[in-house]
A and B are shown apart, each in its own frame.
Chain A
Amino acid sequence: MNPIAPPNPPVATPFFFYLLSGTMILGGILVITRKNAVHSALALITTLLAQAGLYLMLYAPFVAGVQIILYAGGIMVLFLFVIMLINIERNMKERQFNKQWLVGIVAAAALGGLFIAVYTKGTTLFSSARFAYRDPASLYAESGNTQGVAALLFDQHTGMYMFAFEIASLLLLVAIIGAVVMAKKRI
């Protein structure tokens, strides 16, 4: 285990990284500042799709596919349906930010200061996290990613997340029943 030279090369150039992360952060800013909730939902879809691109850069094609299909294609469509069902026109004419917005910004700035302190002073913990991936000779076959995730989930000898998988399906069942009960007119 060589802690100085991480050998995994990135997929694309820094241009794509900055483009995708700039799109993500711009989409995030649009989500929290738009008055119209549909605009916020569309900005969030843009953020999720750019994040799927970042997952592809990190050699995680299965998670990128799951992100696009489930998150952008399922959860955000659910959000848009609910925005359609509730009467949001009246809310668009009212005040958008609550009375404690300054305290909220100060709290978030304190959290940001904590992150900056961790990432500048904590490099002794992840000493090779500041080095770029610079080994173009190593080659990882990308057809193995889904098989690798499946091996961790389902395999008899290396599958250590099988119990969590079953609990997740139970969680989804509880969420389905809960959502149906919550949205019924008469229980």
Chain B
Amino acid sequence: MLDISTLHYLVVGAALFLLGVIGVLTRRNVVIVLMSIELILNAVNLNLVALSRYWQGMHGPGSLHGQVFAIFVITDAAAEAAVGLGILIAFFRNKETVNVDEVNLLKW
């Protein structure tokens, strides 16, 4: 337990992923659901960078593929957060609520 290996980082990433999944599945507030999605993306980034370090140990100090992938994931998270919050603002302007339960106009 005292020496930190790659598995430690993967377990922390898995725990963050689980917290994000619980947040997406159980919360009613749309903003908190979007923040839980950001938690999920951060867990994925932690996995990518930890395994990039592991890969570097085997393939030389220039193999930073996981870090480049993590940068692209951060870019994608920014784009998705912007569009998601735009949709939230548009919806809030129509219905005056931020509950996920009340987004039911397409329900049969």
Contacts and interface: CB of A to CB of B under 8 A. Distances in A.
Contact of A107 (B6, B21, B75): B21
Contacts of B96: 87
B44 to A, nearest CB: 11
B71 A63 contact: yes
Given A98-B28, A108-B25, A182-B86, A115 B53 contact: no
Interface residues of B, number: 79
B32 A40 contact: yes
Given A28-B39, A58-B9, A98 B81 contact: no
B68 to A, nearest CB: 5
Contact of A63 (B35, B49, B81, B100): B49
B78 A98 contact: no
Nearest to B59: A1
Contacts of A83: 31
Contacts of B26: 32, 97-98, 100-101, 104-105
Given A85-B89, A96-B27, A178-B86, A54 B35 contact: no
Interface residues of A, number: 98
A7 B57 contact: yes
B36 A86 contact: no
Contact of B68 (A1, A103, A104, A152): A152
A148 B64 contact: yes
11 contacts: A31-B39, A32-B20, A41-B35, A78-B82, A95-B28, A97-B28, A126-B7, A129-B5, A161-B72, A179-B85, A182-B86
Given A28-B19, A130-B5, A168-B76, 17 more contacts: A1-B59, A7-B57, A21-B8, A25-B12, A31-B23, A31-B39, A54-B12, A55-B46, A63-B74, A71-B42, A75-B38, A132-B3, A132-B4, A133-B5, A171-B76, A175-B79, A180-B86
Interface of A: 1-3, 6-8, 10, 14, 17, 21, 24-25, 28-29, 31-32, 34, 37, 40-41, 44, 47-48, 51, 54-55, 57-60, 62-63, 66-67, 70-71, 74-75, 78-79, 82-83, 85-88, 90-91, 94-101, 103-105, 107-108, 111-112, 115, 119, 123, 126, 128-134, 140, 144-145, 148-149, 151-153, 158, 161, 164, 168, 171-172, 174-176, 178-183, 185
